[in-house]
Structures are given as C-alpha cells and as structure tokens.
Amino acid sequence: MKKIFLMAITLVILGMFSISLSGCNSDNKVDSSIISDGSNTSSKVSQESENLDKNSYAGLEDVFGDTKFITPNGKYMMMVFGANGCPYCEALKKDIKDTPSLKKYIQDNFTAYYINMSYSKIHDFKVGTPNDPKEIQVSTAQLSRMYDIRPTPTIVFSDTDGKTILEFPGYMPEKQFMAMLEFIATGEWKKAKDQRQINQLLQEYVMKKSNS
C-alpha cells in the first residue's frame, strides 16, 4: 500500500498543473446572496462577507492572516484557495489544527492566507520589491483567475517579493505536505533552473521524506 501511495504522489507532482492527488472541482462561483464584488456594496453586506470569510479558517487565525490585505511581509507566502463543501479543504485545515509541528512550521516560515472562493471580498494585494512595489485591489474571483485556480484546495507558494514559486492543486497528507513546506522554506527550490526542474526536485524531495 505504501508503494502504491508513493506512486500516486509521484504522478501528481509530475502532472501538478493538470491533475491533483485529491481535490474538489471549482467553477469559481460565489454565494449570490453575499456578493460584494463592486465598490457600491453596502458596508453591512461587506462586513458580513468578511466575517464569513474569516469563519472559513476559524480556529486557525494564528496561522492564516486576514485576506483583506495580502502581502508576503518578508516571508515566503502561502495562499490556500479553498471553497465551501470541499472535503479536502477541510482535511487540510484539520491536519494543520491537529499537528502542532505543522502549524508551528507554517507560522515560523510563511505568511499564510486562506482564500475562500465561495465568497467575494475585495483584497488589497501588494507584492514586488521596495524599489518596484506593485499594489492592486482585486476581488476574490479576480484573484483566483489571476492564478488560474481550478480544483480546491490549490496552494500557491511565492517568494518574499510575491513571485510565484509553484502552484500545487489538491490535497496532500500531513507528512507529504510538511515535506512540500520544507522544500520551499529551506530554499531547495532554488537549485532548479526552471519550473519543470522545480517540479522534479519537489517530487524527489517528497519521495525522500516519505521514505524516511
């Protein structure tokens, strides 16, 4: 069984931009009863949307920051795109809650955000270098389109300037997820010359950690 599972991990990493190990289909639709995609939205509806957004990661407020303002804050940035009714999103959050070492590793090494695509919220998105900052306001739907999010969860890792390192579509069990976090935080990804090699090195790193 272990060999079969590791083979599945290998396949998903090799094809991580077209398939996922475990993920929920997403059509990027939002809850029509709380749409707040424009500037004319009432403050009450906007506040309700923000509260619902925060309820998505209740109990993990010490891990995920308020998505009203998204920026790396001098760390690697991890954005988890999720949705209501996605069991794999819930499994990922449960893994973080139930594994203190995993939670602490994220807290120490990443600026993390949980972005629920079932709701719409306006995000102040700031990336770039001090000499070349880029700051825009985008809705949740626009942000998900920027990263071409398909299944949920999809995890986007960026460097300290907000430049995307890799996108992983789907859910990984706790041990493999920790290995992926270490791959980013320790700078192993920097050994790659291009995106294809990053995927290959990630595959090798996760396999190595899974067998240890």
Q: Which two tokens mark 116? A: 């629920």
Mean pLDDT of 173-190: 97
Residue 204 has pLDDT above 50, yes or no: yes
CATH topology assigned to domain 21-186: Glutaredoxin (3.40.30)
- Which pLDDT score is estimated for 23? 74
Residue 13 has pLDDT above 80, yes or no: no
Please name the amino acid found at residue 148.
D
The pLDDT tens digits of the residues spanning 101-124 come to 999 999 999 999 999 999 989 999
- Which pLDDT score is estimated for 36? 33
| Residue 33: φ, ψ to 5° | -80, -15
Q: Which two tokens mark 76? A: 């690697």
Mean pLDDT of 192-206: 96
Kindly give, in sequence order, each residue whose CB lies less than 8 Å from that of residue 101, ignoring residues fewer than 6 positions away.
178
Residue 82, by phi and psi: left (phi above 0), alpha (psi -120 to 50) or beta? beta
- Residue whose C-alpha is closest to residue 139's, from 113, 121, 116, 156: 121
The pLDDT tens digits of the residues spanning 56-92 come to 999 999 999 999 999 999 999 999 999 999 999 999 9
- Which pLDDT score is estimated for 39? 42
Residue 42 has pLDDT above 50, yes or no: yes
